[in-house]
Structure 1
């Protein structure tokens, strides 16, 4: 049976600030992120299975990404938990804003690593995460490949 890759694309709005950075991105700003999630597996061959012919139902993949990434990061502001922006983060929270404090610098590179770990934990055993592409702007993106991380 042939291995097949399928991809679903998602989008969400997130703000961040890069602590210690020497450019404009040290300031709080936002992006319209686009996340492409590619998984690999064999299509289901059991003709009695309602998902016959699918590697994974796109709806099932959507549910995973929605719950673990979109619902968490959409319209939130991400800061490194050791940032001097902590006071700002707390103030935003008291005003009802969604703030996420992470153990990493919230760059696209580190976010895509975080997203890969979140998605891998939720996939069925028969499906592997192949790659992620996190597009921060129209011309800039970070990619994660399972083959590079074994």
Structure 2
């Protein structure tokens, strides 16, 4: 077997608040997120291919993750759609980059959505192996395909 794991790291800034939470995170606050994406596959063995020796071109992985996660979530406020945010979305400029989710926007729930979005875009011969989403320097969630 010739399987290899590739990992690429991404960084973005995002704010959120946890609706109906019983701690400080019920208030608007932001994080400098670090997302590590690991894919698994066999390197292409074709001397005629410009991708010879690659599991996946890092540039392709970057494009997928930027389109599905980073460009979408960077400098946004993410809130549960059930939160009482009357008037917030109408504040000029401040309500332009708001994502309303069907779930509580915890690190755990966000990483599940990220896994779904990234997996759907990968070539069929490459699988999403794992994600690690750091919310702070010492707090993170992990998603592993083998756990699903």
Same fold (TM over 0.5): yes
Aligned length: 148
Check the 8 A contact 1:93/1:99 in 2, yes or no.
no
Counterpart contact for 1:31–1:137, Cα < 8 Å:
yes
The question of 1:34 aligning with 2:18 is answered: no
Shift of 1:91: 2.8
Q: Please state how far the C-alpha of 1:39 moved relative to its aligned partner.
A: 0.2
After superposition, residues 79-118 of structure 1 pair within 5 angstroms as 79-84=79-84, 86-92=85-91, 95=94, 97-118=96-117
Alpha-carbon separation, structure 2, partners of 1:22 and 1:109: 17
Distance 1:29 1:78, change over 3 A: same
User: 3-state DSSP class of the match of 2:136?
Assistant: coil
TM-score between the two structures when normalised by the length of structure 1? 0.95
Note the alpha carbon deviations across 1:3-41, whole angstroms, 9 max, x for none. Answer: 000000000000000001111100000000000000000
Q: Which runs of 4+ in 1 moved over 2 A?
A: 91-97
Aligned-residue offset at 1:90: 1.6
Structure 1: unaligned runs, 5 residues or longer? none
Could you report, residue by residue, the CA deviation over 1:56-96 in whole angstroms, capped at 9, with x for unpaired residues? 00000000001111110000000001111x22542347645
